[in-house]
Amino acid sequence: MTSPSARATRLYPAAKPIYAYRVEVTELAIPDWAQSRRIKELTTSDSYIWLRGKALAYKLAQMDKECGGSGRCDRMEVRRCRVCGRYMVGLQAERRRLKDEAGYGGRKMPCDEECHERRYLCRKMV
Ligand SMILES: [Zn+2]
């Protein structure tokens, strides 16, 4: 985290980190209200789900604990690449954010070597 003074002297505004919560349940079956709010870009299974809202994520983990499970909730940074549209998690998302806020051309910088290729492929499919 940068100090307020460092933030004020930036040429380009800092991008806000976006967080998602990975909720793991052991006893509880993931209810429909959680299924309908899952992050569609990320994989979900019977035992875990990705949610955007902190309150919902903690509520689901708490519900699992009440059923005798060991529900847990992990926060991860997420971000979509503006160039190719890929949804990224964790360190990749952090790197993308740092590029986004790096300068005026930062948002157009590719996320990896295959970024421009992926963008072309995605366009072709539409
Ligand atoms: Zn990309």
Determine if the pTM surpasses 0.85: no
Query: Exposure string (b/e) for 58-79, b if CB count within 10 Å is 16 or more?
Result: ebbbebbbeeebebebeebbbb
In the numeric block, which tokens belong to residue 101? 């806020």
Q: In this predicted structure, what is the pLDDT of residue 59?
A: 94
* C-alpha 72 to ligand 1 mean position (Å): 30
* C-alpha 119 to ligand 1 mean position (Å): 7
Predicted confidence (pLDDT) per residue in 93-108, tens digit: 999 999 988 877 888 8
CB distance 122 to 83 below 8 Å: no
Q: In this predicted structure, what is the pLDDT of residue 3?
A: 58
Residue ranges, the chain, pLDDT below 70: 1-12, 123-126
* C-alpha 77 to ligand 1 mean position (Å): 16
The Cα–Cα gap between 21 and 40 comes to 13
* C-alpha 98 to ligand 1 mean position (Å): 13
